[in-house]
A and B are shown apart, each in its own frame.
Chain A
Amino acid sequence: MDSKRLIIFIALSFGILLLWQNYFAPKPTAKPAVHQQASAAASSNADVPATAATPATDSSKLARGQRVVVDTDVLHAEIDTNGGDLRSLQLKKHNAAEDASKPFELFTDKGERLYVAQTGLIAAGNAALPTHKTVFSAAQTSYTLQGDKVEVKLTAPDANGVKVSKVYTFKKGSYLIDVRYDIANGTAAPLSTTAYYRLLRDGKAPEGEGRFAHTFTGPAVYTAENAFQKVDFSDLDKGKAEYTKNADNGWVAMIQHYFMSAWILKPYEGSAVCANAQACTFQLEPKNGSYSAAVMVNVAPIAAGKTASFTVPLYAGPEEYNIITKVADGMAYAKDFGKVHIFASPLFWLLTKLHAMVQNWGWAIVFLTLLVKAAFYPLTAASYRSMAKMKALAPRLETLKQQHGDDRMKFQQAVMEMYKTEKVNPLGGCLPMLIQIPVFIGLYWALLASVELRQASWMYIVDLARPDPYYILPVLMAVSMFAQTFLNPPPADPMQAKMMKIMPLAFSAMFFFFPAGLVLYWVVNNLLSISQQYYVNKKIENARKAALQS
Chain B
Amino acid sequence: MSQLLILLVRFYQLAISPWLAPRCRYQPTCSSYAIEALRKHGALKGGLLATRRICRCHPWGGSGYDPVP
**Is residue B40 contacting chain A, with contact meaning CB distance below 8 A?**
no
Could you list which residues of chain B lie within 8 angstroms of chain A, going by C-beta atoms? 6-7, 10-11, 13-15, 17-25, 27-30, 54-59, 61, 63-65, 67
Additional A-B contact list (15), CB under 8 Å, known A384-B21, A430-B23, A496-B14: A11-B15, A409-B67, A427-B25, A428-B59, A429-B25, A430-B25, A431-B61, A432-B23, A485-B18, A488-B19, A491-B17, A495-B14, A499-B15, A500-B19, A533-B21
List residues of chain B with CB within 8 A of the CB of A416.
27, 64-65
Contact assessment for A7 and B14 in the assembled complex, using a CB-CB cutoff below 8 Å: yes
Known: A499-B14, A499-B15. A431 touches B54 (CB 8 A): yes
Contact assessment for A429 and B22 in the assembled complex, using a CB-CB cutoff below 8 Å: no
A459 to B44, CA, bound (A): 51
**Is residue A413 contacting chain B, with contact meaning CB distance below 8 A?**
yes
Measured CB to CB, the closest approach of chain A to B14, in angstroms, equals 5
Known: A409-B67, A412-B65, A413-B27. A496 touches B21 (CB 8 A): no
23 example contacts (A-B, Cβ-Cβ < 8 A) are as follows A7-B11, A383-B21, A383-B22, A387-B21, A409-B67, A413-B27, A428-B59, A429-B24, A429-B57, A429-B58, A430-B58, A431-B54, A432-B58, A432-B59, A485-B18, A488-B19, A488-B21, A493-B13, A496-B14, A496-B17, A496-B18, A499-B14, A503-B19
Measured CB to CB, the closest approach of chain B to A403, in angstroms, equals 16
A415 to B67, CA, bound (A): 14
* Chain A contact residues: helix, strand, loop or mixed: helix
Contact assessment for B23 and A429 in the assembled complex, using a CB-CB cutoff below 8 Å: yes
Measured CB to CB, the closest approach of chain B to A524, in angstroms, equals 15
A500 to B57, CA, bound (A): 25
Contact of A428 among B7, B10, B23 (CB under 8 A): B23
A413 to B64, CA, bound (A): 8
A496 to B16, CA, bound (A): 10
Measured CB to CB, the closest approach of chain A to B38, in angstroms, equals 12
Closest to B27 in A: A412
A412 to B67, CA, bound (A): 9
4 smallest beta-carbon distances between A and B, as pairs? A426-B63, A412-B27, A429-B57, A431-B58
A384 to B13, CA, bound (A): 19
**Is residue A390 contacting chain B, with contact meaning CB distance below 8 A?**
yes
Contact assessment for A427 and B67 in the assembled complex, using a CB-CB cutoff below 8 Å: no
A3 to B19, CA, bound (A): 22
Known: A413-B65, A416-B65. A427 touches B24 (CB 8 A): yes
List residues of chain A with CB within 8 A of the CB of B29.
430
A419 to B15, CA, bound (A): 26
Contact assessment for B57 and A412 in the assembled complex, using a CB-CB cutoff below 8 Å: no
**Is residue A434 contacting chain B, with contact meaning CB distance below 8 A?**
yes
* Chain B contact residues: helix, strand, loop or mixed: mixed
Known: A7-B7, A488-B21, A503-B19. A430 touches B57 (CB 8 A): yes
Contact of A430 among B18, B24, B28 (CB under 8 A): B24
A387 to B7, CA, bound (A): 27
Contact assessment for A415 and B27 in the assembled complex, using a CB-CB cutoff below 8 Å: yes
Contact digits for A504-525, partner B, Cβ 8 Å, 1 yes 0 no: 0000000000000000000000
List residues of chain B with CB within 8 A of the CB of A496.
13-14, 17-18
**Is residue A351 contacting chain B, with contact meaning CB distance below 8 A?**
no
List residues of chain A with CB within 8 A of the CB of B25.
426-430
Within 8 A of B (CB), among A57-73: none
A390 to B25, CA, bound (A): 12
Closest to B28 in A: A412
List residues of chain A with CB within 8 A of the CB of B55.
431
**Is residue A380 contacting chain B, with contact meaning CB distance below 8 A?**
yes
Measured CB to CB, the closest approach of chain A to B23, in angstroms, equals 5
Contact assessment for B19 and A484 in the assembled complex, using a CB-CB cutoff below 8 Å: yes
List residues of chain B with CB within 8 A of the CB of A206.
none
Known: A7-B7, A387-B21. A430 touches B14 (CB 8 A): no
Q: Which of B6, B17, B19 has the most chain A CB within a 10 Å cutoff? A: B19
List residues of chain B with CB within 8 A of the CB of A186.
none
**Is residue A489 contacting chain B, with contact meaning CB distance below 8 A?**
yes
Contact digits for A424-449, partner B, Cβ 8 Å, 1 yes 0 no: 00111111111000000000000000
Contact assessment for A499 and B18 in the assembled complex, using a CB-CB cutoff below 8 Å: yes
**Is residue A152 contacting chain B, with contact meaning CB distance below 8 A?**
no
List residues of chain A with CB within 8 A of the CB of B56.
431
Contact assessment for B22 and A430 in the assembled complex, using a CB-CB cutoff below 8 Å: no
A490 to B6, CA, bound (A): 23
List residues of chain B with CB within 8 A of the CB of A430.
23-25, 29-30, 54, 57-58
Q: Which of A7, A384, A495 has the most chain B CB within a 10 Å cutoff? A: A7
**Is residue A382 contacting chain B, with contact meaning CB distance below 8 A?**
yes
Contact digits for A476-494, partner B, Cβ 8 Å, 1 yes 0 no: 0000010011001101010
Measured CB to CB, the closest approach of chain B to A163, in angstroms, equals 66
List residues of chain B with CB within 8 A of the CB of A409.
67
A433 to B24, CA, bound (A): 10
Contact of B10 among A7, A488, A529 (CB under 8 A): A7
Known: A412-B65, A415-B27. A434 touches B54 (CB 8 A): yes
Measured CB to CB, the closest approach of chain A to B2, in angstroms, equals 12
Q: Which of B21, B24, B55, B58 has the most chain A CB within a 10 Å cutoff? A: B21
List residues of chain A with CB within 8 A of the CB of B54.
430-431, 434
List residues of chain A with CB within 8 A of the CB of B57.
429-431
A415 to B65, CA, bound (A): 9
Contact assessment for A503 and B61 in the assembled complex, using a CB-CB cutoff below 8 Å: no
Measured CB to CB, the closest approach of chain A to B48, in angstroms, equals 16
Contact of B23 among A427, A485, A493 (CB under 8 A): A427
Measured CB to CB, the closest approach of chain B to A498, in angstroms, equals 9
Contact of B15 among A427, A429, A434, A503 (CB under 8 A): A503
